[in-house]
Amino acid sequence: MDHALNAAALPPGVTYVRDVLSSEEEQVITDKLDAATWSNVLKRRVQHFGYIYDYKARTVSAEAYLGALPAWLGDLADRLLISGHVSALPDQVIANEYLPGQGISAHVDCVPCFGQSIASISLLSPCEMIFRERGGSRSLAVTLHPRSCIVLTGAGRYDWTHEIPARKSDIVDGAKAQRGRRISLTFRKVTPPAVSTMAAL
């Protein structure tokens, strides 16, 4: 938990923590996901828990509620809150699977849909995440190691985009590394529409 990266190499508001999971936990989580049904609605496979996120409409509606997080994800959500990595208990999780050559294009996670902290836990294979300052010229590359967690808050959540380049290798710790299968679990707190409407008033 205390291999925090040099904060200067991260956008403001972003924290990166190594080894939030053991290798055993990483395997158990992977097996649980593979025992469930991966969705092919996107180029990469995904699974949604808690609420379904509508990628096209960029919304989470009340009808999208699937139920409480399964216990194994609820436990991880509790850990993120108790360790202070997130400020509100996450109630929505998206698992993303990236095969070599797959990525996610530059985006800011839906602002009205989700709360102030977004936490992403990486499994299985390292990859690079690129941050770009919106309306600015700064960009930063951060290696996401398996079993690490990256948390986006503040400017890193709202004023910088993040992306994972769709490529087959990355430079990891100074050396070229072929990508393997990577899975991420992104934990968010859904903002009820009524609350975001009130906040906008």
Ligand X SMILES: O=C(O)CCC(=O)C(=O)O
Residue of the chain from 15, 102, 117, 120 that contacts ligand X (CB under 6 A): 120
Q: Is 186 in the site for ligand X (CB under 6 A)?
A: yes
Residue numbers 89-108 binding ligand X by CB under 6 A: 94, 96, 104
In angstroms, what is the minimal distance from the CB of 194 to ligand X?
24
Buried b (16+ CB within 10 A) or exposed e, 161-176: bbbbeeeeebebeeee
Buried b (16+ CB within 10 A) or exposed e, 84-109: ebbeeebbbbbbbbbeeebbbebeeb
* CA 126 – CA 147 distance, rounded (Å): 9
Q: Is 191 in the site for ligand X (CB under 6 A)?
A: no
Residue numbers 144-163 binding ligand X by CB under 6 A: 162
Among ligand X, Fe ion, none, the one that 96 touches (CB under a kind-dependent 5 to 8 A) is ligand X
Q: Is 128 in the site for Fe ion (CB under 5 A)?
A: no
Question: Is the CB of 67 or the CB of 110 nearer to Fe ion?
Answer: 110
3-class secondary structure, 173 = coil
Binding site for Fe ion (CB under 5 A): 109
Contacts with ligand X by CB under 6 A lie at: 94, 96, 104, 109, 120, 122, 162, 164, 184, 186
